[in-house]
Amino acid sequence: MNNFRKEFTTYSIALIAVAIAINIGGGQIPRLVGLPLYLDSIGTVLVGVLVGPWAGALTGFLSNVIWTLTGLYPQAIAWAGVAAIIGALAGIFGQAGWFQQWWKAAVGGLITGVVAAILSAPIAAYVFGGVTGSAGTDAVVAAFRASGLDALFSNVAQGTMSDPLDKMITFLVVWAVLLALPQRLKARSRGE
Amino acid sequence: MRGNLLYLDKESSLHQLHPLSKLAFTFFFLICAAALPGLDWLLAAYFFLLLPLAGWGQVTAPFLRSSWAVITPFVISLSLIQGFFTGGETVLFSLGRFAFTFEGWLAGLTVAARILVALGGALLLTLTTRPDALMQALTQRGLPNSLAYIVLSSIQIFPRFQDRAQLILQAQQARGLETGGNLVRRLKLLVPLSGPLILSSIVDVEERAMALEARGFSRPGRKTSLLVLRDSQAQRLLRFVLLLLGLGLITLRVWTLFQ
Amino acid sequence: MISLQDFSYRYPGQQHFALQQLNLEIKAGQFCGFIGANGAGKSTLCYALSGFAPHFFRGEVRGRAWLGKKNISDLSLADLAGEVGLVFQNAFNQISGARFTVRGEIAFGLENLGLARRRIVTRVDEVLALMDLADLADRSPYELSGGQQQRVAIASILAMQPKVLVLDEPVSQLDPHGTQAVFKIIEMISQRGDTTVVLVEHKLEWLAAYADRVIVLDHGRLVMDGTARAVLASADLVKLGIGRTLYSEAADLARNKKLVSAPSHLPVTLNQAQALFQ
């Protein structure tokens, strides 16, 4: 596990700020293309891989806090913890070298997505009454409830339909970005 | 403030309160949202506490607009899902083998009301508090300067990413990029669209870090502040009272749960 | 004030030295221009003078760099923040984003230095007036044009009252209006005499008019060092990939066509050119 202190240099702090801006400002790109996704953790995963798990966790956490502060998506703060874990996982997979091959990155994304879905479900079930507030996903939840699943498992089921795919794509986009990133900047991010 | 924030600049008394006082209200209403026992109490908190406070802050209209814009989908979804799937005795109507019960509906509305009150607390804060004032108040109480920097600078630069994303899309479309097509095709489009945006931002980070260093960002030692926040004995008392009330509510709720 | 002794610097991961055995001394209050072809090491020299090489970029340093009596290698970037100020091309990247107004942005560096609030207020007001930014003081830096942002960036550094101000191609990305405004400010700062100014710039005519001294870099080495007039009139500039002032070009052309008698020095300023052509 990387040294906590080493992860927070002026450079990494500046990177975290930019990463959060990418999360909030760039997350709409998939919708512009017509994909039913909202890739709002590209920055989080990027920081996790480039700097380390602690920085990734902070990026995810703060992203959601700030997103709420802007009023664009007030519910965001409820997911701050899950976002932090996504960042931490990205960092752990990064340190394990999983971003060096595209298929490993994809698997890492899938795993992270499943973890995110499982961790998000209790929040959806108990804080938001089993509901997400968006018609499409709630229709899915309703379908699962109708089939007999209880609130918690319906949310898990709904989550596993979208989160793993979402995170897998996120990890792949980050893998592609890392390919093009100069080695020098990667070294600087690691604190060298 | 620009369009990337809810904050509205007004001369109200609520605006002039110390940020921590407003934060105290937010947490208080969060506790209310979690600990108040029923729909009636929650609605009372919204209409008789939150709304007057919004009025005092001269932000009634935006407050109402934002609360209801966010909560309406929840009310609908919660009414339907809890109405049909949370058990209850009083059946209001049926759809096939699914019965819509009053108790379920009430449970759904109660959850919606909880979200509404918590949301209201957050809205009060964001509508009347400038983020830099809030960060200043927190750094005075020990929040690391680097965290305050991250919050404030990301708030200011994310709109630029939104704009650049739009520009890149338009530029690619002008070059004949088709945004339709099957799912895989659309997925493949993600990289040429987000890739340049992300890469150029990362490259810029180095210069941004240099600029921060040039301003003494990594200097250890106490930092002073241009912004002056006004606090008062009355506000400190208010925060203390809110804390006590909050703790009291929690205790009450926990106690009734164990009855 | 600031000097380099046999100074060499190599970026990490590179074989060759970006700066090789530089010896130069810039006295307090001087206005020194650096010119050179792309890749000559001008930016690296700016980083060396402001401590970013080696403290930010790591890498290897040989020889010494002095700020007054202090060795720059012994001072941290935080120590150097109030002493040597660095301004670079991209105005947007120099806006910290930590503050919501121009006033706040300028004060940011002073807050980091721990200056008393009273003094911060005074200095910020002074700099706002000096840089003609007073009516933009309460606007967000992100609403400003490139030229205005660059002025804010310079103001933010200047407010810290550094002994040496290093500017690395500050106007390259600006439109003519912005360029004019920034040049005016640099001229004013150098005329006040209390700040040593180091400027990397391509507009040779401008350096000819205002710089005391011009240093030429080529492949990391110092190849010419003298008065602006002498250096900029030199025929070697073309060989070094730098080019000449408009006036020199015009005079050279005229000389070749035997329209004027050969001058001892090619003109580098408007006045000199006028003198020659009359």
- CB contact A119 to B (< 8 Å): no
Total domains in the fold of chain B: 2
Higher pLDDT, B181 or C38: C38
pLDDT tens digits for range C240-254: 778 888 778 888 888
- Amino acid B178: pLDDT: 65
The size of the B-C interface in CB pairs under 8 A is 111
The mean per-residue pLDDT over the stretch B51-55 comes to 94
Tell me, yes or no, whether B5 lies in a domain.
no
Query: By the CB < 8 Å criterion, does C97 face chain A?
Result: yes
| CA pair distance C275, B163, nearest whole angstrom | 53
Helix axes B183-214, A10-26, angle to 10 degrees: 140
Of residues C128 and B189, the one with the higher pLDDT is: C128
Residues B63 and B184 in one domain: no
A1-5, A185-189, B147-151: the lowest-pLDDT one: A1-5
Q: How confident is the model at residue A1 (pLDDT cuts 50, 70, 90)?
A: very low
* Chain C residues in contact with A13 (beta carbon < 8 A): none
Q: Are residues B193 and B252 in the same domain?
A: no
**Residue B22 sits in the same domain as residue B117:** yes
Q: CA-nearest residue of chain A to C12?
A: A184
Please report whether residue B50 resides in a domain: yes
pLDDT tens column, A58-91: 999 999 999 998 888 888 999 999 999 999 999 9
**Residue C157 CA from chain centroid, whole number:** 13
On whether both B35 and B122 belong to a single domain, the answer is: yes
Q: Is the domain of B40 the same as that of B85?
A: yes
Query: In which band, very low, low, confident or very high, does the pLDDT at C60 lie, cut at 50, 70 and 90?
Result: very high
Interface predicted TM-score (ipTM):
0.92
CATH at residue A68: 1.10.1760.20
DSSP element (H, E) containing B93: strand B91-95
Q: How many domains does chain A have?
A: 1
B113 and B69 in a single domain? The answer is yes
Can you give the pLDDT at residue B4?
Answer: 58
The residue range of the domain holding B44 is 13-137+228-257
B18 and B112 assigned to the same domain: yes
Cβ-based contacts of C102 with chain B (< 8 Å): none
Query: For A29-42, what is each residue's pLDDT tens digit?
Result: 777 666 777 789 99
Domain-located, residue B6 = no
Averaged pLDDT of chain B: 88
Burial C229-239 (b: 16+ CB within 10 A, else e): bebbbbeebee
* pLDDT for A5 beyond 80: no
DSSP assignment of A47-112: HHHHT-HHHHHHHHHHHHHHHHHHTS-GGGGGGHHHHHHHHHHHHHHHHTTGGGSHHHHHHHHHHH
Q: At what angle do helices B102-128 and A53-70 cross, to 10 degrees?
A: 90
Segment C222-244 mean pLDDT: 84
Residue B220 lies in a domain: no
Q: With b meaning 16 or more CB within 10 Å and e meaning fewer, what string describes B81-116?
A: bbbbbbebeeeeeeeeeebbbebbbbbbbbbbbbbb
The pLDDT value recorded for residue B180 is 62
Quick one: CA dihedral B124, B125, B129, B130, positive or negative?
negative
- Residue B104 sits in the same domain as residue B154: no
Percent over 90 (pLDDT), chain A: 55
Residue type at position A5? R
What are the pLDDT digits (tens) for C104-123?
999 999 999 999 999 999 99
Same domain, B132 and B50: yes
In this prediction, residue A50 has a pLDDT band, given cuts at 50, 70 and 90, of: very high
Structure-token match 């040593």, residue found: C196
B94 plus B199 within the same structural domain: no
Tell me if B216 and C98 make a contact (CB, 8 A cut-off): no
pLDDT for A2 beyond 70: no
Give residue ranges of A with CB < 8 Å to any C CB.
Answer: 17, 183-184, 187, 192
* Residue B223 within a domain: no
- In this predicted structure, the answer to whether residue B1 has a pLDDT above a threshold of 50 is no
Q: Is residue B32 part of a domain?
A: yes
- Chain A residues touching C58 at Cβ < 8 A: 192
pLDDT band at B187; cut points 50, 70, 90 = confident
C53-84 in b/e form (b: 16+ CB < 10 A) is bbbbbebebebebbbeeeebeebebbbbbbbb
Residue C262 vs residue C114, higher pLDDT: C114
Same domain, B31 and B92: yes
Domain housing A32 = 5-189
Q: Note the pLDDT of residue B179.
A: 61
Question: What pLDDT was estimated at residue A48?
Answer: 96
B207 shares its domain with B235: no
Predicted confidence at residue B20, as pLDDT, reads 94
In a domain, B65, yes or no: yes
Identify the closest residue of chain B to C156 by CA–CA distance. B215
